Amino acid sequence: MSEQKQVKPAQGRRPQAGGKTGSKSRTAGAAKGQASSRSNQAAGQAGARKSSSTRVPRTPRELALDILVSVAGAGAYSNLKLNQSLQDANLSRADAGLATELVYGTIQHQRTLDYWLARFVAKGFNKLQPWVHQLLRMSAYQLLYLDRIPVHAAVNEAVAIAKKRGHQGISGMVNGVLRSMDRSRAELVPSAIKAGSPAEKLAILHSYPDWLVKRWVLAYGEQTTEAICAAGNDSPHGSVRVNPVRGTRAEAIEQLAELGLDAEASPLASAGITIRRGGNLVETAGFREGLWTMQDESSMLVAEVVAPAAGMQVLDCCAAPGGKTTHLAELMGNKGKVWANDLHPHKRQLIIDQSSRLGLTNVEAITSDAAQLSERFASGSMDAVLLDAPCSGFGVIRRKPEIKWTKTAADVAAIADIQRELLEAVSDLVKPGGVLVYSTCTIERSENEEQVERFLQAHPEFELDRNWPEAIVHALQEAGAIDEAFKGYAQLLPQHYGSDGFFIARLLRRA
């Protein structure tokens, strides 16, 4: 049976903190605005209200369905909604894992699922209530992608849910569609996809919107684009950053191994440890005691590229929840000062809590619009400034799969405008001879390379700086992320190390 499946089942998919798309400045509303304009919003919200008000979900599939309806209809973030729902539901670890898999997998593959489902839904998707559409997607995902789930379990549970939420006609339709799909699975293969162009076929096969795939093909070429798309559907592995103030990486690996976790040193980040087939790392004693922090490997590179020294004055302009802030403070040996700014007052506490857990006393969390930091700090007062800018977030699609369905080309342009404004606003805070590091968790060139080149044309007092840590340069060269023409910025793609897509540029202000 498994040879008929399109994709091997994903294992151990767990939400983990990644990019901070739309959460670090005034882009928060714009970043999620497109989702609220979808035509099925009202119906989706109504379905979510009906399901949540009439009963508490009792099975992982019911829980997953409620989350899918909420994400599709009300614009909820999948990771936040899932985490909250799992806390409320009190499912077993196995059931929580299944619910997690169904939510992320269904959202990631929804276009491919719809492409195949369209063969069997005679009246079309427009005639379906939103919850029915999501139920069919979720069930089709189990049939086509999860070998470990028996067909009868996926179909029977879907029919049972349809009977509870709908009527006999809906449950009969769900049963008929899924059993027809099961009988036809041998025909639901990539070679059977009919598309008008290679880009459209990639978009259907890997489940992405046409406009985004075409954009990436123009920027990266067809072969690299397919690798980007495939990597975006992979399950993220866990990773932690060791706190050198409280221990070494070798000691942390040993402690993780004693917990039965498959941990090894990251080949990309010097303080990183990758973990496969692990549990909830936030619940470990090592996390509570501040021995390590949850962070993606790509994100760890940012502070290392800043390379702050003990005693420096450093500003993190868009800091919440504090991952890069605390990494800067650790690299400084808890000496000097890291100013951690964020727009939102409630997020200031996240930075404070994280710094306290790690035993860091050289962090001061403040609240301000990053565009107005020049009103608080004097020109040339910082040895280093980090602008981890709000972005489209296309580098963290594997963690937040709804991004590819809610973002538009207009969103990318709007976010690029804000990035440009923030760069202008904070660059003057860098002292002569100091460093400005610009980073994003996206792979959009208009937000990355083009943004930096535009800034340099307008600011001749800055220049690209190739003085990166040798270990990072070597790792990026090994992955093919940079070559001999390395200028001082790098675009890490999600397929390079199985980590998030990240862009980092190091700029030096001439003395």
Cis bond before residue 321 (omega within 30° of 0) = yes
Under the phi-then-psi rule, with left for phi > 0, alpha for psi from -120 to 50, and beta for the rest, what region is 188? beta
Q: Are 21 and 31 in contact (CB under 8 A)?
A: yes
How buried is residue 118: exposed, middle or buried, by Cβ count under 10 Å (0-12/13-18/19+)?
Answer: exposed
How many C-beta atoms surround the C-beta of residue 382 within 10 A? 25
Instruction: Give the CB-side neighbour count of residue 6, counting CA atoms within 13 A.
Output: 25
DSSP letter, residue 185: G
Catalytic choice (317, 318, 391, 441) = 441
492 pairs with which residues across the strands? 502
User: Closest Cα partner for 443 from 210, 240, 229?
Assistant: 229
* Amino acid found at 269: A
As given in the structure block, the two tokens for residue 401 are: 């799969």
Q: Are 103 and 68 in contact (CB under 8 A)?
A: yes
Q: Are 332 and 308 in contact (CB under 8 A)?
A: yes
Q: At what angle do helices 60-74 and 93-108 cross, to 10 degrees?
A: 40
How many C-beta atoms surround the C-beta of residue 510 within 10 A? 9
How buried is residue 205: exposed, middle or buried, by Cβ count under 10 Å (0-12/13-18/19+)?
Answer: buried
* Amino acid found at 361: T
Instruction: Give the CB-side neighbour count of residue 13, counting CA atoms within 13 A.
Output: 25
Under the phi-then-psi rule, with left for phi > 0, alpha for psi from -120 to 50, and beta for the rest, what region is 22? left
Q: What DSSP string describes 316-333?
A: ESS-TT-HHHHHHHHHTT
Q: How many residues does the chain have?
A: 511
Per the annotation, the verdict on 441 as an active-site residue is: yes
DSSP letter, residue 370: G
How many C-beta atoms surround the C-beta of residue 25 within 10 A? 23
Catalytically active residues are 441
